[in-house]
Structure 1
Amino acid sequence: MKALRLVLLSCALWAVAVAPVWAEGFGLTEWSSRGLSLAGGLVGRADDPSALAYNAAGITQLPGTQIMAGFAVIAPMGTISTEHAGGYSKDTTTKPNVWPAPHAYVTHQLNDRFWLGLGVFSRFGLGNEFAGNWVGRYNLTDVNFQTVSFVPTVAFKVNDVLSLAAGLDIMYASFGMGQQIPTLTLGGGFIPQKGDDNKLDIAGTGWGVGAHVAAHFRLSDTVSLGLAYKSQVALNINGEADFATHGMNFLAERNQVPHAVDCGASSTVIMPDSFALGLSYKPLDNLSFEVGTVWTRWSTFDSLDISFESGYDAKSIKNWRDGWNFNASVEYEPLDWLALRAGIWYETPVTNESYAEFMVPSYGRTGASVGLGFTWGNWKLDLAYAHLWVNNVDYDQTRASGIDSSTGIMGGHSSSTSANIYSGSISYTF
C-alpha cells in the first residue's frame, strides 16, 4: 500500500521532531488541529483520522484509506515571584521557547466490519527553562520531558449503532533535567558563591507499553456517544548523570558528597491512565455540538525516584491528585468547503502545593480555541489557535527541595502564566 508506506515515513519524521509542552500536569491533548479547535471534542464525533488519538472506535466511520499529518506550535510564558529574607521579592521570567508537537495518522478499511489504524502522537510532554544563575536554581534550572506514542489499532463495527476498538500504546520517552547543587565553604557554613555551584544534569531515554480501548455509539442520526480508555504506561528510563560544572566537580573534590560522581542513572515513571467521554449532537448536517470530560489518574505520580549507579537514590515527593477536563465545542459548515469551529475547556488542579516546585508552575487552567477547515476534493486543511490561562501556584508552604529558607527563598508564587498554541493539519482520502 503506497499510502501506508507514505504515512509510516511521515510518522517517523514527526516522531523525531516531537518536543515538550508546558501543560497542566504534563498531559497533552493537541493531537490534531481540528481537535484543538474543538477543545478535544472528538470523542463523540470521532469522524476523522485523529480519532485514533481521541476515540479510536470512530474510525469505522471513515471509508477507504485516509491519512492526516500536522503539528502544533506552543509558545508558553510565565513568571516566578519569589520572596526572600529581608523582605524583598524578585520576579523571574522563564526563557522564551517555542515547542512543536507533531501528529500523524493513517486509517484503512479492510471490509464492512474491520478497520486498521496507526497513530503517532504525544500523550505527555513538559518543557521549562530558567537562567543558570536564577534564584530557584537549587530546585530547577531546566526540564525537558517528552513522549511519543505509536498506536496500532483494530476497530470493529458490531452493527450500525456500536463500534469497538483496541490497540497498543508503544511509548518512547526522553527525559532531561538540570539543577544547581551548592557547595560548602571550608568553614562548613552554607554560603553559596557564584562559580562554586555544581550543575547536575540528568538525561535518559526509555520505552513502555500500554493499551487503549474505545467504544462509539451512534444512538440516532443526531446523537453519538464516545468512550475511550488509555492505560497506564510504566516507562523504564536509563541514562547518565553529570555532576561537573565547567569541568570541575566541587562536591567530589571537597569530599562534601563523595558519591556525587558522573555515573549511570535510572528511573521508572508511571504515566497515568485516563478515561474520556464525549456526547455529540448534530441537529443539522452542517452543525454539531459536543460536551465531554476526561478523567486522568495523576495520583499515580506520587514521587520521582532516580537511582544512581554510585549507590545514591534520590526521591522527590509529588503526591499529585487526579484531574478532570471539562470541554464544550461547536462546529458549523456554512459552505461545502468551509468549516468554522470553536471550543472552551477547563482543567482542575493536579499539583500538590505542599510539594509545589518550579517544574510545573500551574494550578489548573482554562482554554479557549477557534479554528477553520477547508476542503478541496480529497484534500482537507485544518487550522487552529488556542490560548491557555494558567492559574497561579503558591510556594509559601511547599516542602520541595531547593525552595526553603536555607536557599534564601521564603515563599512566592507563579504569575502571568499562559500559552499561545497554533496548529495546522492536512489530510487526504484515497
Structure 2
Amino acid sequence: MRFVRGLCCTCALLLALSGVARAEGFALNEWSARGVSLAGGLVGRADDVSALAYNAAGITQLPGTQLMAGLAFIAPMGTIDADLLGGRKHDTTTKPATFLAPHGFVSHQLNDDFWLGLGIFSRFGVGNSYAQDWVGRYNVYDVGLQTISFVPTVAWKINDIFSVSAGVEVLYAGFYMGNKIPTMQLTAAGPSQGSDNDLQLQGDGWGVGAQFGLHMRFNEQWSVGLAYKSQVTLNIDGEVEFGRQGEPNLLATMGRVPEARNCGANATVQLPDSLALGVAYRPLDELSFEVGAVWTRWSTYNALNIYMDSGYASLNDKAARDGLNLNASVEYWPLDWWALRAGVSYETPVLNEKHADFLMPTYGRTTLGLGTGVKWNELTLDFAYAHLWIHSMDYGQTDASGLLAGPGSPSRITDAHSKNVVANIYMFSVGYSF
C-alpha cells in the first residue's frame, strides 16, 4: 500500500505540471536537484531514487519505499547577431522566459532480490521565443517542444556486486512552432509584396522505447554504472493555422510557401539513444567523487520534415552529429544532515552548421552545477543551481528554410551567429522514505 500511495502522489504531481513543462535545449538531464548539482554524476553513485532516471539498477541500494518529486526552473537567454543586405547589422535577443521541467520517482523493495520503480521526467525539450517582427521571422519566431516520459522499471540484485534493471519508456510530446510567411500579390503594375501572414503549427504524439541499467558495487569505495536509453520514434499529428486564411499568394502558387489554408499536419522525429558510464569513488563515508561520460547518437536526428494535408511539405535536413558529455563531480557531508555538492560537464557540438536554424542557437555547452542538501529523519530536501555557457553557432553556410538571403528567399540576412547564449537553472527536490 505504501508503494501504491507513493505512486499515486507522484503521478498526480507530474501530470499537473507536464502541460507547461518546457526547457531550453533539446536533450535534458534536469532529473533531480542532486543530479543537477553533480552535473549528472549519479550513474556510478545511483544511490537515491532519482537513479530511476540516471541508472535504475542502482535502486537495489534503497531499502523499503522511496519517493521523490521536484521542479526545475530554467531561464535561457541569447542573442542572434545578423548581417543584412546593404551592410546593416541587427541584434535580436530572445524574449525573457522561465520554463518548467518536473520530475518524480517512486521505488519499492519487493524482497532481497527485486525492486519496482516508476520514473516520470523530461528527456527532451526546446523553448525559444523572438519578437514576431524580428529579421529571422521567416525561419521561426516561437518554438516549443515539451516531453514527459513514464518509465516503469524492475531491478534485480543478482549478488552483492551486480544489479541490473529494465524499463519500458512511454514518451508523450507536445510541439508548437510559429513563423511568418511572406506574401506577394499580382496587381495592375505587376507583382507586389504584401504584409507577412502568420503560420502556427501545433501537435502532439506518443513514442515507446526502453531503458536498461547495470550497477556494479565492488566494495565500499568503488562502484561503476552503465545506463542505456533506446531510440524513440515520435509520431506527431497536429494542425496548421494561418493568421489570414484563404489569402491569395503568388509564392504559394509557385510552391515556395504553403497556401494560406488551415489543415492537418504530421511529422516523424527520431529521438536518439544514449549510453552513460559513471565511475564513483568514496574514500570516506562523507566524501565521494564521480567521473562519467554520456554518448548520445544524435546522428539518428537526420531531418525534421513536416507534411501538411494541403499537399505542401516543409523539408529540413539536420544531419546532426553524435555527441559526448564528459562530467566530474564531488559530494561532501560536513555534518550528518548537511551535504555540499559541485559538478562540471562539457558537451561536444551536435548540430550541423550546414543545416542549422534558429530553433536551437547552440553549438555545445559547458555547465557548472552547485548544490546543497539536508536530511531530517525520513525527509530529504535538495537544492541546486546550474549555469550553462552555450557555445556560439555560425549560420553563414546554412541552407535552412527562410534563414539566409538568396534566390527565392524573403530573408534579408546574409550572415548570422549566436552570442551570449546562457541558461540559469534553479531546482529543488523533496524526498521521503517509508
- SS of the residue aligned with 1:304? coil
| Residue type at the aligned position of 1:20 | R
- SS of the residue aligned with 2:277? strand
How far off is 1:261 after superposition? Answer: 1.4
Larger deviation: 202-211 or 3-12?
3-12
Cα distance in 2 for partners of 1:304, 1:95 equals 24
- TM-score, length basis structure 2: 0.95
- Cα distance, 1:380–1:181 mapped onto 2, change above 3 Å: same
Cα distance in 2 for partners of 1:79, 1:186 equals 37
Cα distance in 2 for partners of 1:307, 1:402 equals 17
2:407 equivalent to 1:408: no
| Aligned counterpart for 1:417 among listed residues 411, 418, 421 | 421
Please tell me whether the aligned partners of residues 295 and 323 of structure 1 are also in contact (alpha carbons under 8 angstroms): yes
Match of 2:45 in 1: 45
2:414 equivalent to 1:391: no
Cα distance in 2 for partners of 1:253, 1:313 equals 14
Identity between Structure 1 and Structure 2 (%): 57
| Aligned counterpart for 1:21 among listed residues 23, 26, 29 | 23
- Cα distance, 1:250–1:371 mapped onto 2, change above 3 Å: farther
Cα distance in 2 for partners of 1:190, 1:83 equals 27
Match of 2:212 in 1: 213
- Cα distance, 1:39–1:254 mapped onto 2, change above 3 Å: closer
1:22-421 pair list within 5 angstroms: 22-23=24-25, 26-186=26-186, 192-193=193-194, 196-245=195-244, 249-251=247-249, 259-405=259-405, 406=409, 407-421=411-425
Larger deviation: 392-401 or 255-264?
255-264
Please tell me whether the aligned partners of residues 183 and 256 of structure 1 are also in contact (alpha carbons under 8 angstroms): no
- SS of the residue aligned with 1:59? helix
- SS of the residue aligned with 1:419? strand
Cα distance in 2 for partners of 1:5, 1:269 equals 36
- SS of the residue aligned with 2:52? helix
| Residue type at the aligned position of 2:428 | G
How far off is 1:248 after superposition? Answer: 6.4
Cα distance in 1 for partners of 2:287, 2:80 equals 43
- SS of the residue aligned with 1:123? coil
Cα distance in 2 for partners of 1:254, 1:37 equals 50
| Residue type at the aligned position of 1:413 | H
Please tell me whether the aligned partners of residues 82 and 413 of structure 1 are also in contact (alpha carbons under 8 angstroms): yes
2:9 equivalent to 1:5: no
How far off is 1:311 after superposition? Answer: 2.0
How far off is 1:255 after superposition? Answer: 5.7
| Residue type at the aligned position of 2:196 | D
- Cα distance, 1:361–1:253 mapped onto 2, change above 3 Å: closer
How far off is 1:42 after superposition? Answer: 0.1
| Residue type at the aligned position of 2:203 | G
Cα distance in 2 for partners of 1:232, 1:168 equals 12
Please tell me whether the aligned partners of residues 198 and 251 of structure 1 are also in contact (alpha carbons under 8 angstroms): no
Cα distance in 2 for partners of 1:428, 1:190 equals 68
How far off is 1:259 after superposition? Answer: 4.4
How far off is 1:88 after superposition? Answer: 1.1
- Cα distance, 1:409–1:288 mapped onto 2, change above 3 Å: same
| Residue type at the aligned position of 1:404 | L
- TM-score, length basis structure 1: 0.95
Cα distance in 2 for partners of 1:346, 1:114 equals 35
| Residue type at the aligned position of 2:130 | F
Please tell me whether the aligned partners of residues 15 and 120 of structure 1 are also in contact (alpha carbons under 8 angstroms): no
Cα distance in 1 for partners of 2:248, 2:33 equals 49
Larger deviation: 44-53 or 307-316?
307-316
- Cα distance, 1:412–1:173 mapped onto 2, change above 3 Å: same
Cα distance in 2 for partners of 1:65, 1:357 equals 46
Cα distance in 2 for partners of 1:191, 1:105 equals 58
Note the residue ranges of structure 1 that are not aligned, 5 or more in a row.
Answer: none
- SS of the residue aligned with 1:186? strand
Cα distance in 2 for partners of 1:2, 1:214 equals 25
How far off is 1:244 after superposition? Answer: 2.8
Note the residue ranges of structure 2 that are not aligned, 5 or more in a row.
Answer: none
Write out per-residue CA displacement over residues 90-113 of structure 1, whole angstroms, 9 at most, x where no aligned residue: 000001100010000000000000
Cα distance in 2 for partners of 1:283, 1:253 equals 68
Match of 1:428 in 2: 432
Cα distance in 1 for partners of 2:222, 2:397 equals 48
Cα distance in 2 for partners of 1:91, 1:33 equals 34
| Residue type at the aligned position of 1:57 | A
- Cα distance, 1:189–1:369 mapped onto 2, change above 3 Å: farther
- SS of the residue aligned with 2:31? coil
- SS of the residue aligned with 1:86? coil
| Residue type at the aligned position of 1:375 | K
How far off is 1:2 after superposition? Answer: 4.1
Cα distance in 1 for partners of 2:300, 2:368 equals 28
Write out per-residue CA displacement over residues 368-420 of structure 1, whole angstroms, 9 at most, x where no aligned residue: 01100101000000000000001100011111111121311001100100011
Please tell me whether the aligned partners of residues 183 and 251 of structure 2 are also in contact (alpha carbons under 8 angstroms): no
Larger deviation: 310-319 or 384-393?
310-319
RMSD between aligned alpha carbons? 1.8
Cα distance in 2 for partners of 1:354, 1:362 equals 14
Larger deviation: 208-217 or 2-11?
2-11
- SS of the residue aligned with 1:317? coil
Cα distance in 1 for partners of 2:294, 2:131 equals 35
Write out per-residue CA displacement over residues 268-290 of structure 1, whole angstroms, 9 at most, x where no aligned residue: 11110000000000000000000
- Cα distance, 1:71–1:16 mapped onto 2, change above 3 Å: same
Cα distance in 2 for partners of 1:108, 1:76 equals 36
Please tell me whether the aligned partners of residues 43 and 228 of structure 1 are also in contact (alpha carbons under 8 angstroms): yes
